[in-house]
Structure 1
Amino acid sequence: MARRTYGTGSLRIDGGSWYGSWYGPDGRRVKRKIGPARTPGERDGLTRTQAEKEMRRVRDAEAGTISAPRVTMEQAGEQLSLSLEVKGRKKSHRMTVASDLRNHIVPFFAGKDLGKITVSDIERYIAVKRKTLAMKTIRNHLVTIHSAFEIGLRRGWCSTNPVKLADRPIVRSNQTRIQFLDQEELERLLAIDYPGDAFGSIEPTLYLVAAMTGLRQGELIGMRWRDVDFHARKIRVVAPYVRGEFIDPKSSDSSRSVPMAERVANNLNALRERSLYPRDGDLVFAHPETGKPLDRSKLVRRFKAARDRAEVREITFHELRHTFGTRMAASGVALRRLQYWMGHADIKTTQVYAHYQPDDHEADMIDEAFAA
């Protein structure tokens, strides 16, 4: 007997009757008597075609009576978090997903079964969140919600994934326009008076290195003195500190070395001379009193306060990295080299700095075309 298509069930004749077998919505195997089999040459009983039709009717009817277990977004989110851990995803990614679930996704869908969340509910989530969150952040939330529904589909908690059918927010180019400090603003930031506490003793050096190397916040916090090669004038990115742990670089291209300008080297030398933690294995920007990694949230708050005192444009600490990218592009550094320095896995990410590259030849072409 030919094998039936997977997922449709199977039919067999036993004792003059058709019997069907299939898997129900809960994953259990179901066996049912379908009806009498037709005797060859007679008009009694069911033919195979008729038996298949009847089996489909019985199967669909029983599927309708078996209700999927009631599972909420919170429970699906917990299963997603467990799945990410089993797959070995980075702790920083797992913590981001958990934070998005806890602070945004679960409260919004509270009390509603996963299987009853519709496309309209997803689009309403987008409409509500766009009032307070960036489009890119909302798109990241949708990825998390999508993953939760995919787990729900595999476990029979829902029958569809509404995220697939929902209209996604579009991140327009003007919403991704980068912010950075020009040279005069950077100098003002570095020249202000800093608090006389322990943290204030490292702030200006930290901001200078961030702006003149393009290193990410976690890369700066995780940098050790052995990663600073004063002889080769390079800083090596080895083990960034992200969400409470030292991790591998963000991508294969993030493990790299960045040129160290003389001004950066001089400031780092001066910092090492006055630091209580100058050994090779110590953190460059360790907490001046404990030697432990800096607290990210405190660093962000201190930078905002310094930025406001300096009366420069309202950039984030991360956008000191854009200060480096734009200055390097404007000075004529090739985008491929800049991609390596900044640790971008994809050259498309680096392309955002292309508009700052000089090209006198293009302007000359226009001058020539419009010459009298």
Structure 2
Amino acid sequence: NGRKIQKSLETSDKKLAQAIEAKIRTEIVEGKYYERLTGQCKTFKDMMDKFMKEYAPTVSLNTQEGYKYYLKNLNRFFGNPGLMSITPKIVAKYKLYRRDYGASPSSVNRELYMLSKAFNLAVKEWEWLKDNPVSRVQKEREDNEVSRWLTEDEERRLLGKSPDWLCEIIVFALNTGLRQDELLSLEWNRVNLLRKTILIQKTKNNKPNTLPLNSIALNVLMRKYEGKVRSLKNDLVFISQTGTKIGKRNLIRAFAQALDKAEIKDFTFHCLRHTFATRLAQNGVDIYKIAKLLNHKDLKNTQRYSHHCPESLMVGVQILEKFDYNPTTMAQNDG
């Protein structure tokens, strides 16, 4: 129709640009040409780089650390293909790939969530694509029931094989339920020894939470405070021997070594949090209190511990006993 078409191919690869140009010319002649989305020449790396540069900084530091780890797994499988070549079938193969590597269903789902978020941005905001291939892939089924927590015997063995600094962290975690990053970032200005509370400012759901301290957790802090085990470099409660913040990798490495020496299998640092909640449930603490202590935004996350607290159900129905009535006695009174 004589209309001039001018289009940037957005690639520095001369051969690729020439191939795309030739294809466009052919489609114009055949009457099949239509405007492409700008992601035609974009690669998987282009999308993930933009995601990490522009979106990742808007989430919590803990989530950013997770993204870095997930990205390594994604890159290992996907490489750097053209973005439009990634189909639901390929994403489904990624699930199988991660499963073969022993990744848990929850880990696979977190990686798929990150990938889906990146594709959604590419579709809705960057206008690179028309569809998100991850949205058509079924997520892994997760078993939310907690099946691993520390027994009393395992706790004794673990503490017996841990250095003093790690013992303090383990005991504090078992008695507060704090997440790893919450423990490592806890500062003295968030500790109130008089009121026996701590304020957790940076939480997973970005909601500050004031937690009570039992005598065991309080004793850990009192010993550290009275022993002046504090650093001039920062205000952190738990610090390294050099007075700096304990790195996550160093903590996990030391924890793994202690587990190995104590011959404890299938246990992670996060299981200390599960142990805290499970012990509460087993001793009759109701789910709502456990949810508050864990700072769970959604009660569904806490219900995984509900099978541990039949005693609390008994307490619930026993409350009604104050309304006791005996049908036989009532009949006699009526007579």
Task: Tell me whether the two structures share a fold, i.e. TM-score over 0.5.
Answer: yes
Note the 1:1-372 alignment, pairs <5 A: 61-63=32-34, 69-85=40-56, 88-101=58-71, 103-132=72-101, 133-154=103-124, 155=126, 157-173=128-144, 177-190=146-159, 192=160, 194=162, 200-238=163-201, 248-253=202-207, 255-277=208-230, 282-289=235-242, 291-357=243-309, 358=311, 359-360=313-314
CA contact (8 A) 1:122 1:163 kept: yes
Shift of 1:314: 3.5
The 3-state SS of whatever aligns with 2:33 is helix
Q: Give the Å deviation of 1:77.
A: 0.9
Supply the distance in 2 between the matched residues of 1:350 and 1:299 (Cα, whole angstroms).
Answer: 26
The 3 A distance-change label for structure 1 pair 331 and 75 is same
Which is further off, 133-142 or 354-363? 354-363
CA shift, 1:315, in A, is 1.4
How far residue 58 of structure 1 moved from its aligned partner, in angstroms, is: 11
CA 59–326 in structure 1, closer or farther in 2 if over 3 Å, else same: farther
Deviation at 1:66, TM superposition (A): 9.1
Q: Residue 198 of structure 2 aligns to a residue in which SS?
A: strand
Residues 84-143 of structure 1 deviation map (CA, whole Å, 9 limit, x = unaligned): 057x22333234324322x12233222421112222211111111111211112122222
Bigger proportion of residues as strand: 1
In 2: Cα distance, 1:262 partner to 1:295 partner = 27
Q: Post-superposition shift, 1:178? A: 3.6
Q: 1:193 to 1:66 in 2, by over 3 A?
A: closer
Bigger Rg, which one: 1
CA contact 1:307–1:314 (8 Å) conserved in 2: no
User: Which structure's relative contact order is higher, taking Cα pairs within 8 Å and 6+ residues apart?
Assistant: 2
* SS of the residue 1:61 aligns to: coil
Cα displacement (A) at 1:64: 7.0
1:89 and 1:312 mapped to 2: Cα distance?
A: 34
Taking structure 2 as the reference length, the TM-score comes to 0.76
The unaligned stretches of length 5 or more in structure 1 are 1-18, 27-56, 195-199, 239-247, 365-372
Q: Deviations over 1:130-161 (max 9, x none)?
A: 11211112122222222333344354544432
64-73 vs 209-218, which moves further? 64-73
C-alpha change, 1:59 and 1:360, in structure 2 (3 Å) is: farther
Q: 1:163 to 1:82 in 2, by over 3 A?
A: same
Q: State the shift of 1:292 in Å.
A: 1.6
Identify, as 1 or 2, the structure richer in helix: 2
Post-superposition CA distance 1:191-247 (Å, at most 9, x none): x154xxxxx331211111110110111111111223222221222213xxxxxxxxx
Check whether the contact 2:252–2:269 (CA below 8 A) recurs between aligned residues.
Answer: yes
| Runs of at least 4 residues off by over 6 Å | 23-26, 57-60, 64-67, 361-364
- Name the CA shift for 1:193/1:144 in 2 (closer, same or farther; >3 Å): closer
Amino acid at match of 1:123: A
TM-score, normalised relative to structure 1: 0.69
Number of residue-to-residue matches in the alignment? 295
For the residues of structure 1 that align with 2:42 and 2:74, how far apart are their CA atoms?
15
- 1:299 CA drift (Å): 0.7
Q: Secondary structure of the equivalent of 2:302?
A: helix
Runs (5+) with no aligned partner, structure 2: 9-27, 319-335
Deviations 1:326-347 (A, max 9, x none): 1111122221111111111111
- C-alpha spacing 1:96/1:313, structure 2 compared with 1 (3 Å): closer
The SS at the match of 1:294 is coil
Contact 1:252 1:345 (C-alpha < 8 Å) held by counterparts: no
Cα RMSD for the two superposed structures: 3.4
